[in-house]
Structure 1
Amino acid sequence: MEALRLILLYLHLIGFALLLGGAVAQLVTGKIRMNPAMLWGAVIQLATGIGLSAPLRDGDEPSPVKLGVKLLLAVLIFVMVFFSRKRDEVNRGHFLAVVGLTLVNAAVAVFW
């Protein structure tokens, strides 16, 4: 089971890299939109996060409150990216909210 958890964690980190890397790429180009890397990153983050929340370890599960907060953040990010993915350009505040929520989600994982 530990191997499965590590594979899910690895894929979760790849999803984070796609989401944040895709956002940084859009900020650098100047035309702010949700690109496919961000969409796939959000999907991978949500799917692997749900898999990681399964009780695969012996007594070392994270708190249900932490899991709930992370799930809420992941769903918000996914919805914000998914429903604005076909726009030619998105509002800067909306885009920065996706980036901010992504960073907050990572902070919850690390510091909580």
Structure 2
Amino acid sequence: MEIVKDIALVLHFLGLASLLGGFLVQIKPPVKVVNAAMFHGVLTQLVTGLLLVGVEQALDPEDVNNTKVGVKLLVLLVIGALVVLGRRKESVSTRTWGLIGGLTVLNVVLAVAW
């Protein structure tokens, strides 16, 4: 079960890299878009995050902080909604683009500092 957890964690980090990388490559261009990297990153984060919680719950149910998981899931669902809605458009506002990046960084801070 530990190997599943380790693989899921690596994939979770790759999802983060994809989501944040898709955001960061657009710092200079004036027109902001939701690119495929952001879309696939948020989906990877969602699936692997749920898998990580499930595996941890199976290994040590007392060790899971359900409040933290709930808050992080809520933030990720907002990011996901912004990404899915933004993907349907040719471009997104700088505000929407900034929200996606800011909420992604917030989720990292919650994971590390909480």
SS in 1 for 2:27: helix
Unaligned 5+ segments in structure 1 are none
Counterpart residue number, 1:38? 38
Counterpart residue number, 2:86? 84
Counterpart residue number, 2:17? 17
Counterpart residue number, 2:63? 61
Q: Distance in 2 between matches of 1:5 and 1:62?
A: 14
Report how many aligned residue pairs link the two structures: 112
Shift of 1:27: 1.8
Q: With the length of structure 1 as denominator, give the TM-score of the two structures.
A: 0.94
Q: Distance in 2 between matches of 1:63 and 1:71?
A: 12
Q: Distance in 2 between matches of 1:78 and 1:23?
A: 13
Q: 1:93 to 1:79 in 2, by over 3 A?
A: same
Q: Distance in 2 between matches of 1:28 and 1:57?
A: 45
Amino acid at match of 2:99: A
Unaligned 5+ segments in structure 2 are none
Q: Distance in 1 between matches of 2:3 and 2:63?
A: 16
Contact 1:2–1:56 (Cα < 8 Å) also in 2? no
Q: With the length of structure 2 as denominator, give the TM-score of the two structures.
A: 0.92
**Where do 4+ consecutive residues of structure 1 move more than 4 Å?**
none
Counterpart residue number, 2:3? 3
Deviation track 1:53-77 (CA, whole Å, cap 9, x = no partner) reads: 1114235633110000011011111
Deviation track 1:66-102 (CA, whole Å, cap 9, x = no partner) reads: 0000110111111110111021110111110110000
Shift of 1:26: 1.6
Q: Distance in 2 between matches of 1:50 and 1:58?
A: 15
